[in-house]
Structure formats: C-alpha cells, structure tokens
Amino acid sequence: MKPPSGPEEAQRPASDIRVFASNCSMHGLGHIFGPGGLTPRRGLWAAAVLLSLATFLYQVAGRVRYYGEFHHETALEERESHRLTFPAVTLCNINALRRSRLTPNDLHWAGPGLLGLEPAEHAAYLRALGRPPAPPGFMPSPSYDVARLYARAGHALEDMLLDCRYRGWPCGPENFTTIFTKMGQCYTFNSGANGAELLTTPKGGMGSGLEVMLDVQQDEYLPVWRDVEETPFEVGIRVQIHSQEEPPLIDQLGFGVAPGYQTFVSCQKQQLSFLPPPWGDCSSVPLDPDFEPEPSDPLGPSSPSPVPSPPYTLMGCRLACQTRFVTRKCGCRMMHMPGGAPVCSPQQYKDCAHPALDAMLRQDVCTCPNPCATTRYAKELSMVRIPSRASARYLARKHNRSEAYIEENVLVLDIFFEALNYETVEQKKAYEVSELLGDIGGQMGLFIGASLLTILEILDFLCEVFRDRVLGYFWKRKRSQRHSSTNLLQEGLGSHGTQAPHLSLGLSAVVCVSPGLPLPSPRRSLPPTARATWSPSSRLSVLRAAP
C-alpha cells in the first residue's frame, strides 16, 4: 500500500477504510470510499464493483469445481526405437498329463479330484490307457504331491521342441523356464528369471524373432472319459505373449496354435501409463498372496518384507487375490497359485479348491485396478498349412516319424515384431494447478482489476484493522485500569498522610510526608517549575499548588 498523503489522510490510522481504498490497487474502491457523502455516482460505482465481484467469484467457483472433478485426458503417441526387448512367450500343451506316465497310484490319488474317475473305473481307465491293471495287493503311497505329478507326467519340453531359433541363432530348452499354470506344466521363453539377461532385437520382421517347431505328442493325450467342466476336446499349443513382470494367465488370455499349420504372430509393443487417484484408479502396490489383513488394520503390518515384492500387475493381483481366497477357505493353495501355503491334495482340489475358485469367479470378488505402468503386445495372426507335399518326406525322415504323424502333430510358431516403433498410451491431468491459478488470475484482472499483490494489500489492511481495532481496544482497556488503580492509590496515601507547614519557596506548596518518613530540609529550595509525582519507589511527593 502507498503511504497516506495529505494532512487529513495523515491523521487517519492505517486501518481506516478510506485510507485503504484511496491507496489500494483494486479498481473502483477509491470511487466508493472517497471523501464526501453518499451520492448516486458513488452508489453506481458500488453496484458495479459488487456485480464484478460476484461474477468473479462465480467464475472462480466454476474453475475450482472443475479442478475438483480431477479430469484426465489420454494421449496416444508412436515412438521409434533402435532396439526393443523381446517379450516373454509362454507355451502350454493343451493336454496336461501324458498317458504313458500315469500309474495306479496316480489314479488312486488324483483320479477322483483331477480326472473325474470313480475308484471302480480305474481298471477300465488303465485299459483305455493301454496300461496293465493294478497288481494284486496294490497299496497306494501314504502321501501325494500334485505338483510332482504335473512335473513328472506333464509334457517335457525336451520331447516337444523339435527346432528352436532366435534371430537365426539356435536355441534350446535351456532358454526356457518351467512354470506352473492352471493348464499344468508350461514353459516360458525369455522370462528373465534368476537374473538372466533379457533378449533384444534390432529390427522387425520375420527372422528377427522366435521360431520354434513343436511336437504336440497327440498320442500321449488322455482319453476323454466323460464330459466334465474342463475336458479338453482340442489339440495343440496354448501361447501367451506378455511382459517379463506379468505372470501368465494362459488359460484365459492365451491363443491357440494348431498342428499342421505354421502360425505367424506379428507383435506391436504398447506402453500404457495411467494416473493414480483422484485422477484415475491405477495402483502400483503389489498384493501379497501370503498376507491376509485384519479388518481393523487395512494397511497391514509395517515391518518390511525380507524378499522384495514384484512390481504390481493386473494378472499378479488377480492371482494373489485368488490365492488369498482359496487359502482362507481351504487352508491350501492350488498348484499354479503363488505364495508359501501348502499345495492342496487331490481330495482338497475336488472338495474345496475347485468349488471355492469357481464361486469366487462367479461372484467377481477380486477388485484389481489397472497398474500405473504396464506393457502389452498387440497381435496379428496368420497361418499356412504344413508340411507341404515336397517337405513331408524330408521332415518324416529328419525326425524319425511318419508323414501322417508329422501332419497330425507338428506345428511351427513364428513370433516377431512388426516394426521397431511402439505406441505409448498415457493418461495426463487435463487441468493442472498452474492452469487453475492462471484462470483465477485472468478472471481477477478482467472483472475487478486486481492481482496477487492486491490480495496482499487486503491482508495487510486486515492486519492493521486487527491491530488498531481489536488489540487497541484491549490496550486502552488495560491503560485505563492502570490509571484508575494509580489514582486510587494516591487518594489512599493522601488520606493517611501528615500535612507539614508549607515552606517559603516563593510559591505556596503542600508537602505530604508518609508516616515515619523525615521531613524535607527547609534549606532545600525547589525551582518554580518543579513538580514531582509519587511512585511506590519514591519517598517524597511534592504536589504543585494553585497560585
């Protein structure tokens, strides 16, 4: 604020509204609170300022309300790259267990729960498998492990993988990682597990990715005994292309590759970024499958986990949620679920785990938000028949199989990037704080001609009003109370004091001496202008008399 100018304004305190209005940078206040009485001109100025102020507040309320809705916008951009990380590729044979590896002990334990067999049907099922019946006096094992069953009886990659090449270079089973899914034992290429270096590619197109030739081993497929919920009627390989951070959910997201065809999969990388609340609903906090929070403690324990948690993914959240549900209901987890709980027995699979998981999926209990950052791969598939007549005999001779076997069991899968460009889909805040402040500042300047410094002037004026009007009132009240107490004390001392004869000092004076105090010396003379006041620390009070 400007310093007051003029004699009248100099006499007024800084808390006076006229002084403030005459020096404030806000337009119109000087015309309202200027000198003089109320005039039509001043009333019109007041109406104009109030109307502008109301319009300004209405606009500000609309901008603040829009900002409080936390809108976002999605930006799609295509970027170029000189080298891309190749995705993880998970392969599962549609048939989970090989018929040649099943034993009577397996049928005893896993037959009712996993295969839907009754004990009386075991002998007939063994004959359908081409296996001899259980020997007389057969005694099943005292315990049974479902994970070991799938590891032992599942299709081995060494038997299925006929040829493997990445960017033209040979690869083999050592480049794959074994993983258990709902479809049994599966294998992931370029998983990055155990600190393995991720493979990259410097160009797109065929020959710059993964090419595998697989034998589906249709002769090992289990016979369909009866139609149950998960009975497979198809033959081939289920494939899922995903990022290394995301666990495969191949039974729901995988695509099928059939024998007798070469399938070409052209991929395009997509990077997605979402906003956290309140602008979006993404999450970056992984869900621990082994931890069940108490109802009174939604945040869980504060002690850090000794093992670093994997990054949050949508599939990982779903698996962890399913694991928690099944573990709480059954006291065990299914083979493909993460965590440290024990694997369910075949009887627990039948009686508890499968019904609990089916009920959970029907009720849609799990609520998993999108991850704040994720990578996915768009796919385009095409296929051609193999083998050709010209190559059937060569392939049969090379792999020591018949031509009919090659046609019914062999497939080729070719996965590559279409190009090295990739898409980014990013959510952005549609209205930032800076934009809100800019809009408020523009409305403030347009309607009331004010700025940020004007707000400081108003705050300074309010401080002056508080100091002069509020604090000043209490100061005056204290001062008046102090003066009144001093006057009462002086009157009390005057009524009890002893009057002494006046001294000849050229003026009539009255000297009041407190009892017990010595009288003033008559030889001391006081100047005519001398005037003393009494205080508790003084011993003498000289009061000037009237002339």
pLDDT for the residue 444 = 82
Indicate the pTM of the whole model: 0.71
Q: Is the pLDDT of residue 2 over 70?
A: no
Q: pLDDT tens digit string along 33-51?
A: 767 777 788 788 888 888 8
Share of the chain above pLDDT 70, in %: 80
Q: How confident is the model at residue 489 (pLDDT cuts 50, 70, 90)?
A: low
Q: pLDDT tens digit string along 290-311?
A: 755 444 333 343 334 445 567 8
Q: How confident is the model at residue 367 (pLDDT cuts 50, 70, 90)?
A: confident
- Which stretch of 136-145, 219-228, 514-523, 538-547 has the lowest confidence by average pLDDT? 538-547
Query: What's the 3-state SS for 21-79?
Result: HHHCCCCCHHHHCCCCCCCHHHHHHHHHHHHHHHHHHHHHHHHHHHHHCCCEEEEEEEE
Contact 526, 543 (CB under 8 A): no
Quick one: tokens of 402? 């018949």
- Segment 103-128 shows an average pLDDT of 84
Contact 279, 397 (CB under 8 A): no
Average pLDDT over the chain reads 80
Contact 215, 409 (CB under 8 A): yes
Q: pLDDT tens digit string along 176-208?
A: 999 999 999 999 999 998 888 999 999 999 889
Cross-strand bridge partners of residue 178 = 187
Distance CA 413, CA 419 (A): 18
Q: Please state the separation of Cα 385 from the chain's center in Å.
A: 48
**Nearest to 18, CA basis, from 466, 464, 475, 447:** 464
Q: Please state the separation of Cα 66 from the chain's center in Å.
A: 22
C-alpha R_g of the chain: 46
pLDDT for the residue 492 = 63
Q: Is the pLDDT of residue 505 over 50?
A: no
Place of tokens 């198809």: 234
Q: Could you tell me the residue ranges of all domains in the chain?
A: 17-69+433-471, 78-290+310-429
Q: How confident is the model at residue 528 (pLDDT cuts 50, 70, 90)?
A: very low
